[in-house]
Amino acid sequence: MGKVTVELHSIEGKQAALGIAGQHTVVVDRPEGSAGGRGIGFNGAQLLGLTIGGCFCNDLRYVAEEMGIQIQSIAVSVELELEGTPILTKAAKLEVQCTLEDGSNPKELINRAKASCMASNSLSRGIPVEILQN
C-alpha cells in the first residue's frame, strides 16, 4: 500500500536524537542520568505507548467519519508492562473514554477502531525488524 520513512539524527552536545517525519519533529532521549540521558525527550517505551494510543485516537476519528457520527471527546491512557534484560514490552493496555455528540454508546465505534488500528494490530501480529549497518 505504501511506505513511511522517518529519520533520526543526533543533537549536537545533547546525547539525544531528533526524530523527523515530514515537517514534524520529536526529541528522543533517555531519563536524566541514564546512559548520558538528560530527560529532554521521550524514551522508547514512551514513544511506543504514544504510537499505540495515538494511532487508536486517529482510528476513532477515521471510523467515526465512516459511520457518520460525531465525537465530542476522546481520552486514551496506555500502560505498557516492561520486563527483562534486554527490556521488552510484555503487554500493552489501553483504557478508552469516548463521548459521542449525540450521547449514544460508543461501543461499536471503539470495536471498529480496534479492528482497524494499524499500530496495535501490527504489534499483535508481530512485525519483522531488520537492522542494517551502513
pLDDT digits 0-9 by tens, 18-45: 999 999 999 999 998 899 889 999 999 9
Residues paired with 76 in a beta bridge: 96
Percent of the chain with pLDDT over 70: 99
% of the chain residues with pLDDT over 90: 94
Which of 31-40, 60-69, 82-91 is predicted least confidently?
31-40
Q: Rounded to the nearest 10 degrees, how much is the dihedral formed by the CA atoms of 12, 14, 17, 21?
A: -70
Instruction: Look up residue 77 and give its three cell numbers.
Output: 491512557
DSSP result, 76-98 = EEEEEEEETTTTEEEEEEEEEEE
Burial of 36 (0-12, 13-18, 19+ CB in 10 A): exposed
CA 23/CA 67 separation, integer angstroms: 31
- Return all residues near 31 (Cβ < 8 A) that are at least 6 apart: 37, 39, 43
CATH number for 43-127 (one of 3.30.300.20, 3.40.640.10, 1.50.10.10, 3.30.420.60): it is 3.30.300.20
- pLDDT band per the 50, 70, 90 thresholds, residue 7: very high
pLDDT band of residue 129 (cuts 50, 70, 90) is very high
Average pLDDT over residues 82-86: 96
Neighbours of 117 (CB within 10 A): 23
For range 80-104, the mean pLDDT:
97
Cell numbers 467515526 correspond to 64
d(CA 63, CA 66): 5
Tell if the pTM clears 0.85, that is, is over it: yes
Find the mean pLDDT for residues 7-19: 95
